[in-house]
Amino acid sequence: MAFLICGGVPLVGEIRAQGAKNAVLPMLFASLLCEGGVTLYGVPQIGDVGVALSLLTQMGVAVSHGGDGSVTLDARAASAPTYALADAAAIRASAYLLGASLFRFGEGAIPYPGGCSFGKRPLDYHKNAFLALGAEWEEDETSIRVRGRHLHGARFSLPYPSVGATVNFILAALCAEGESVLYGFAREGHVMDLVAFLQRMGAFIRPEGNALYIRGKCPLAGLSYTVPPDAVEAGTYLIAAAATGGEVTVRGVRYGEISPLLLCFGEMGVPFRFLGDAVTVYPARHLRGTSVSAAPYPGFPTDLHPPLTVLLSRTAGGVICDLVWHDRFSYVNELEKMGLCACCSKGSVRVRQSCLQGATVTAPDLRGGAALVTAALVARGESVIRGEHLIARGYEGFAEKLYRLGANIRISAEP
Closest contact distance (angstroms) between CB of 38 and ligand EPZ is 19
Sign (positive or negative) of CA dihedral 374, 375, 380, 386: negative
> Which residue, 59 or 93, has its beta carbon nearer to ligand EPZ?
93
116 belongs to the catalytic site: yes
303 binds ligand EPZ (CB under 6 A): yes
165 binds ligand EPZ (CB under 6 A): yes
Q: Contacts with ligand EPZ: how many residues (CB under 6 A)?
A: 26
> Which residue, 113 or 246, has its beta carbon nearer to ligand EPZ?
113
162 binds ligand EPZ (CB under 6 A): yes
Closest contact distance (angstroms) between CB of 245 and ligand EPZ is 26
Residues β-bridged to residue 280: 249, 273
> Which residue, 7 or 306, has its beta carbon nearer to ligand EPZ?
306
> Which residue, 21 or 386, has its beta carbon nearer to ligand EPZ?
21
Check: CB of residue 380 under 8 Å from CB of residue 8: yes
25 binds ligand EPZ (CB under 6 A): yes
367 binds ligand EPZ (CB under 6 A): yes
User: How far apart are alpha carbons 374 and 402 in whole angstroms?
Assistant: 10
Question: Catalytic residue among 116, 175, 264, 321, which?
Answer: 116
Per CB under 6 A, contacts with ligand EPZ among 112-131 are 116, 121-126
The 10 Å CB-count burial string (b at 16+, else e) for 188-212 is: bbbbbbbbebbeebebebeeeeeeb
| Pairing label, strands 35-41, 221-226 | parallel
Per CB under 6 A, contacts with ligand EPZ among 319-338 are 324-325
| Pairing label, strands 360-362, 382-386 | parallel
Q: Is 133 exposed, middle or buried (0-12, 13-18, 19+ CB in 10 A)?
A: buried
Q: Determine the residue with CB nearest ligand EPZ.
A: 164
| Secondary structure (3-state) at 365 | coil
Interface positions with ligand EPZ (CB under 6 A): 21-22, 25, 92-93, 116, 121-126, 160, 162-165, 186, 188, 302-303, 324-325, 366-367, 394
Which residues are annotated as catalytic?
A: 116
